[in-house]
A and B are shown apart, each in its own frame.
Chain A
């Protein structure tokens, strides 16, 4: 169980502080902040998420620039505490629509009310927005979303697409909208994060997809939802294959290494037809997390070449080939002296195109160092809307009032097969927003 919970701003100001057991001194927030700020211990220059100072254990996670912290004196489950901190952040975001210092301060009474229901005497009671609604009475005061630059996973909705109303994800789950009536809608994101390491000769050394089906429901009356995944989906990679290299069995099947589900998900017919059924609780939650190391076609290939021209100059070529998507290009390059990094940003990239950057670096001092060997890897970060590398399917069969969702399915290779909302007497068809987003996690080409 935990002793205290608090939220600190980046400058170390107390935004929220709740003591549940009175066994840790009041100055703990300051002790914590100083320790994290000036961390130095052995090999690490960055504080690990769990540490002990004078018998007090501090846990922290960073959420949108804020530090969510818990303290305890006993030998608790650290994953429970860290997971709890993430969940508290999520619950608060569900309630406030937007999570930041401003919205927390504006709603501190509501936040304290939430915290009292989420934790009692240090023991987690519930982190379900749905359940909390029965016990929490303060109304959120929604901060103006338009003023804010998007933060966190919600930001993907506002990036370069007019299809999705950006306000939607920053909308409180509980607050009634100005019109008085709430819009019936449900958001489903299939977010896939790709990690790939290319060797210097262009081979794929490791590749992995971490996927999440994220849902945020604003549906009233808690209708049941059925999600159908690819029928050829199989779970559990053949471990027998030596070295962990995948056996190139069945070409069409999607093989997940592992997956797990939200507790509201019922898997009664999952084994038969790969459908999940659930009654989505209020708030944002992951329906399913999955992990895949099966071979897939990487969205980009990167070739980097370094040529040493004399002792002071080095030529640096990076060629990136893209195999996707229409769009326009707007590029900038910049050498960041502080971290000795050459940055090249491309606003948009046309599918099937190839781009080359030739950079000439001249060093101030002559060095006998082997530049090629000292050059770090090329790392790429990107977001591809409407692309789904794993080919995990998720399609919508029922009549869909918003045609964008349909066009998504056409663009994407294939998708989750359908999202069915069982609604008995619907005057309005609920709005369904489905998005596929692929992001780089660690997308690296070695030199």
Chain B
């Protein structure tokens, strides 16, 4: 017996494997056991010990359970990589499955199920059949799980051999562990199946509810979760179920408590008696609160769930708001969740207590927590009309502390409060303005500017305040620029005096001519046209009454909330997302391309997303402003007398609108590879190109030296595609100051280099007058794409499916913008990347292309992007995934245009 297992980790000297091999074949039992331990140790630290497979398997035939388990552990790990050898173990497995010792029987079945090798699976069926009916409950419960394992490997086999029926029989087993595992296995099989397999009848229901009392805590969770799919027939049945489940709320295991809560909540929907419902709420509250005494990790899960529960049934915890007050030592993720719930539970009755807490939190150290606390005060103000004033006074107190981020956060929420209660609290604006200089965060600045613009008529020096921001207009973030633009327009409309007039000229000029931001530019043009065509309409639009905002603390949509509540006590309720958003187990990329909305490219009309390309009719303000509450009939734009400056601006109009016409490139520019400075006056530029199915090396020689150069020759080093010159280099004698251009035809697969693919092309050029010049060129993979690369849609799909997923490689190009689909497709087609189809995925467009390398190596390409927005994801599948890096280089160049 060894005294210290960690010594197995320390064998690092050379020849480890042969040494282990020898020890594994030792005649001494203890030595063999030690050796297997060493192998397992090596395995866990990630060393490859698969070559010892035969030797380890030889140790399998032993009565020593400890050793047997070790060998099995090894087998599970390596059987997949050594399927032919794994078969050696089958005999022992089958023999073990009939061993008189139940532990060995169970171990055999458990291990066989973990070995996902077809040949072994075949032999699993008979032992499994026996074990499902074994006398020993430990064997039966292991066999129950094994059915789920087998279903995962070969579902058909499970159904053919009637294992599903055996599993259903086990639900009535007299051992609760067996019942629990049978339920778990059936639930998993059902999960991956659209056909009804595990239907819970009222009969099974009562059996399972009985088993619930005897099960282990974990079994209780399996059963409760399975039963949560059961739909009670009526209120009475629902009440019965709830009565049987309620005692589980008293369990020390949090998972049991939450699963019981889920079950009760679901049944409550059916219960009509308000007394019963009220009583249940009363019963659920203490256990829910007790979850907050558990470890912080569990608290987090509980809080995320409680967040959902109080949205549906606020009364449950209405009196418990104090337990959600943050503790000093709560982890930040717990504090943040508690804040959310405090906002949800805040009411006129407890708001004073709550505000006192928030105010305290706003002086803590953690900046993010402080910000959230300040925001929480604002959200309470918006939620509780009667408390709004108290909330504002707390915010003002906080502003007076003059901690920069607190002030900024407060201003952001006060803007929202103004929108919620217009014309109520403007008296505080003066206080806000005192902090104007300290604002340096975009959102706070934008909020302050909004406030100034909105209340320009009541702020005496509004124009001065805004003007102070204007100086730095070009440097401001987009958010601030947009607000400045709007606020200046508001100011101008409210006080059409000289100052604001000058300001608006500056702003409109900045926002149209000086900016690259299409949002800003568009908004500026709209204001501009409005102001120039119909200032009255402009007033109606810009100064329209805004819809009053509401509290967003119950922001989940009812349908989403329903779905999430049905998923209480699952991950879904922690993420607040429906399960299908994040569960990806069954989805593979091959299936993705089969989506129904897969449309032939030729049938798809692409809409050009670049608005600058087609300003066909200048839109009127009214069309663009559906928010305008006045609803006055659209009057034809009556051209009102305008200040001259606007007329001037109008005159500039057409000349300013930038026209984003993609310039057609006039042949590929050549790269300077040998600058004159290093080439003693000789400059060589070159690029590999493809024309009419032939690859050329385009070269430009410029002689800046004082001598005439002649006798040019060229040579290429070995390279990935074996590129070589198809003929001699034809360059005439070069007089000083002259240049010559040539197209050198190339052949491929002539002198291929070994090693990983590279886009490097090493070139040597000599002439009679100078030394040999060596330089490096980088080619783009697309020059090799052949003209016959177009694939039929069906063969594309077939090829995609036939290639293993491991051949799929993808890369993101966060900076690339595809402005126009048409132009891009054209450009790619010119490089022999052929468009196959397009589909929509949410707001993204997904394009499929095919291309071929010489010798018929296909590349299947998937591009995902939102037209007009930065970010392109490129996924490719091909038999030569090692080429992907070259491919990504090429596509990047192509997409950049």
| A contact set with B: CB distance below 8 Å | 1, 14, 16-17, 21-23, 43-50, 52, 55, 57, 59-61, 73-80, 82-84, 86, 102, 105-110, 112-113, 116, 120-121, 123-128, 135, 137-139, 141, 195, 197, 205-206, 208, 210, 236, 239, 243-244, 257-263, 286, 288-289, 291, 293, 339-340, 368-370, 373-377, 379, 441-444, 446
**For A47, what are the chain B residues with a Cβ–Cβ distance below 8 Å?**
333
**For B124, what are the chain A residues with a Cβ–Cβ distance below 8 Å?**
none
- Is the Cβ of A127 less than 8 Å from the Cβ of B327? no
B41: nearest chain-A partner, CB-CB: A108
A112 and B255 alpha carbons, distance in the complex (Å)? 25
B567: nearest chain-A partner, CB-CB: A75
- Is the Cβ of B4 less than 8 Å from the Cβ of A83? no
**For B149, what are the chain A residues with a Cβ–Cβ distance below 8 Å?**
121
Give the segment of B164-172, B357-365, B524-532 that binds chain A.
B357-365
- Is the Cβ of A244 less than 8 Å from the Cβ of B290? no
**For A23, what are the chain B residues with a Cβ–Cβ distance below 8 Å?**
585
Q: List 10 A-B contacts (CB under 8 A).
A: A1-B188, A43-B368, A43-B372, A75-B579, A83-B254, A112-B73, A121-B113, A138-B66, A258-B290, A442-B329
A284 and B218 alpha carbons, distance in the complex (Å)? 18
Dominant SS among interface residues on chain A: mixed
Contact of A61 among B66, B297, B322 (CB under 8 A): B297
* Total residues of chain B contacting the partner, CB 8 A: 105
Give the segment of B82-90, B281-289, B734-742 that binds chain A.
B281-289
- Is the Cβ of A86 less than 8 Å from the Cβ of B141? no
- Closest beta carbon of chain A to B282's beta carbon, Å: 6
| B contact set with A: CB distance below 8 Å | 1, 3-6, 8-9, 37, 40-41, 44-46, 65-66, 69-70, 73, 103, 110, 113-114, 116, 138, 141-142, 145-146, 148-149, 152, 177, 181, 184, 188, 191, 216-218, 221-222, 225, 250-255, 257-259, 282, 285-287, 289-290, 293, 295-298, 300-302, 319-323, 325, 327-333, 336, 349-350, 356, 360, 363-365, 368, 371-372, 400-403, 567, 569-572, 574-575, 579, 582-585
- Closest beta carbon of chain A to B469's beta carbon, Å: 24
Contact of A73 among B40, B286, B584 (CB under 8 A): B584
- Closest beta carbon of chain A to B854's beta carbon, Å: 34
**For A259, what are the chain B residues with a Cβ–Cβ distance below 8 Å?**
250, 290
A418 and B362 alpha carbons, distance in the complex (Å)? 48
- Closest beta carbon of chain A to B811's beta carbon, Å: 15
- Is the Cβ of A108 less than 8 Å from the Cβ of B44? yes
**For A124, what are the chain B residues with a Cβ–Cβ distance below 8 Å?**
218
* Known A49-B297, A79-B569, A258-B287: A74·B585 in contact at CB below 8 Å: yes
**For B257, what are the chain A residues with a Cβ–Cβ distance below 8 Å?**
79, 260
Contact of B365 among A105, A197, A261, A339 (CB under 8 A): A339
Contact of A45 among B4, B6, B368 (CB under 8 A): B368
**For A441, what are the chain B residues with a Cβ–Cβ distance below 8 Å?**
327, 329
- Closest beta carbon of chain B to A202's beta carbon, Å: 15
A104: nearest chain-B partner, CB-CB: B6
- Closest beta carbon of chain A to B377's beta carbon, Å: 15
- Is the Cβ of A77 less than 8 Å from the Cβ of B365? no
- Is the Cβ of A112 less than 8 Å from the Cβ of B40? yes
* Known A74-B583, A121-B145, A121-B149: A260·B360 in contact at CB below 8 Å: no
- Is the Cβ of A370 less than 8 Å from the Cβ of B401? yes
A124 and B183 alpha carbons, distance in the complex (Å)? 13
Q: Which residue among A208, A368, A369 has the maximum number of chain B CB atoms within 10 Å of its CB?
A: A208
A23 and B582 alpha carbons, distance in the complex (Å)? 15
- Is the Cβ of A49 less than 8 Å from the Cβ of B583? no
Q: Which residue among B285, B579, B583 has the maximum number of chain A CB atoms within 10 Å of its CB?
A: B583
**For B4, what are the chain A residues with a Cβ–Cβ distance below 8 Å?**
106, 141
- Closest beta carbon of chain A to B360's beta carbon, Å: 6
**For B113, what are the chain A residues with a Cβ–Cβ distance below 8 Å?**
121
- Closest beta carbon of chain A to B817's beta carbon, Å: 25
**For B221, what are the chain A residues with a Cβ–Cβ distance below 8 Å?**
77, 80
A16 and B6 alpha carbons, distance in the complex (Å)? 12
A115: nearest chain-B partner, CB-CB: B73
- Closest beta carbon of chain B to A266's beta carbon, Å: 12
- Is the Cβ of A289 less than 8 Å from the Cβ of B293? yes
- Is the Cβ of A377 less than 8 Å from the Cβ of B402? no
A340: nearest chain-B partner, CB-CB: B365
- Is the Cβ of B252 less than 8 Å from the Cβ of A261? yes
A441 and B221 alpha carbons, distance in the complex (Å)? 30
Contact of B252 among A74, A125, A262 (CB under 8 A): A262
- Is the Cβ of A368 less than 8 Å from the Cβ of B402? yes
- Is the Cβ of A107 less than 8 Å from the Cβ of B5? yes
**For B287, what are the chain A residues with a Cβ–Cβ distance below 8 Å?**
258, 260
- Is the Cβ of B300 less than 8 Å from the Cβ of A48? yes
- Is the Cβ of B401 less than 8 Å from the Cβ of A369? yes
- Closest beta carbon of chain A to B324's beta carbon, Å: 10
- Is the Cβ of A374 less than 8 Å from the Cβ of B569? no
- Is the Cβ of B41 less than 8 Å from the Cβ of A43? no
- Is the Cβ of A78 less than 8 Å from the Cβ of B349? no
B364: nearest chain-A partner, CB-CB: A376
Contact of B218 among A43, A110, A112, A127 (CB under 8 A): A127
**For B5, what are the chain A residues with a Cβ–Cβ distance below 8 Å?**
105-110, 141
- Is the Cβ of A123 less than 8 Å from the Cβ of B329? no
Q: Which residue among A14, A80, A340 has the maximum number of chain B CB atoms within 10 Å of its CB?
A: A80
- Closest beta carbon of chain A to B417's beta carbon, Å: 21
- Is the Cβ of B365 less than 8 Å from the Cβ of A83? no
**For B116, what are the chain A residues with a Cβ–Cβ distance below 8 Å?**
22
- Is the Cβ of A239 less than 8 Å from the Cβ of B282? yes
**For A43, what are the chain B residues with a Cβ–Cβ distance below 8 Å?**
336, 368, 371-372
- Is the Cβ of A75 less than 8 Å from the Cβ of B319? no
- Closest beta carbon of chain A to B405's beta carbon, Å: 12
A1 and B216 alpha carbons, distance in the complex (Å)? 16
- Closest beta carbon of chain B to A213's beta carbon, Å: 11
A47: nearest chain-B partner, CB-CB: B333
- Closest beta carbon of chain A to B315's beta carbon, Å: 11
Contact of A46 among B184, B293, B332 (CB under 8 A): B332
- Is the Cβ of B252 less than 8 Å from the Cβ of A286? yes
**For A260, what are the chain B residues with a Cβ–Cβ distance below 8 Å?**
250-252, 257, 287, 290
**For A78, what are the chain B residues with a Cβ–Cβ distance below 8 Å?**
301, 569-571, 574
- Closest beta carbon of chain A to B641's beta carbon, Å: 51
A126 and B290 alpha carbons, distance in the complex (Å)? 24
**For A379, what are the chain B residues with a Cβ–Cβ distance below 8 Å?**
328-329
**For B332, what are the chain A residues with a Cβ–Cβ distance below 8 Å?**
44-46
A374 and B360 alpha carbons, distance in the complex (Å)? 10
* Known A14-B44, A16-B44, A77-B258: A369·B290 in contact at CB below 8 Å: no
Contact of B69 among A105, A106, A108, A113 (CB under 8 A): A113
**For A208, what are the chain B residues with a Cβ–Cβ distance below 8 Å?**
323
- Is the Cβ of A48 less than 8 Å from the Cβ of B333? yes
Contact of B222 among A121, A123, A197, A262 (CB under 8 A): A123
- Is the Cβ of B583 less than 8 Å from the Cβ of A75? yes
- Is the Cβ of B583 less than 8 Å from the Cβ of A244? no
**For B254, what are the chain A residues with a Cβ–Cβ distance below 8 Å?**
79, 82-83
- Closest beta carbon of chain B to A264's beta carbon, Å: 10
A108 and B37 alpha carbons, distance in the complex (Å)? 9
- Is the Cβ of A121 less than 8 Å from the Cβ of B114? yes
A205 and B357 alpha carbons, distance in the complex (Å)? 10
**For A135, what are the chain B residues with a Cβ–Cβ distance below 8 Å?**
103, 138
- Is the Cβ of B349 less than 8 Å from the Cβ of A121? no
**For A339, what are the chain B residues with a Cβ–Cβ distance below 8 Å?**
365
- Is the Cβ of B364 less than 8 Å from the Cβ of A83? no
A47 and B181 alpha carbons, distance in the complex (Å)? 33
A113 and B349 alpha carbons, distance in the complex (Å)? 56
**For A21, what are the chain B residues with a Cβ–Cβ distance below 8 Å?**
152
- Is the Cβ of A125 less than 8 Å from the Cβ of B218? yes
B187: nearest chain-A partner, CB-CB: A1
A340 and B364 alpha carbons, distance in the complex (Å)? 12
A236 and B221 alpha carbons, distance in the complex (Å)? 25
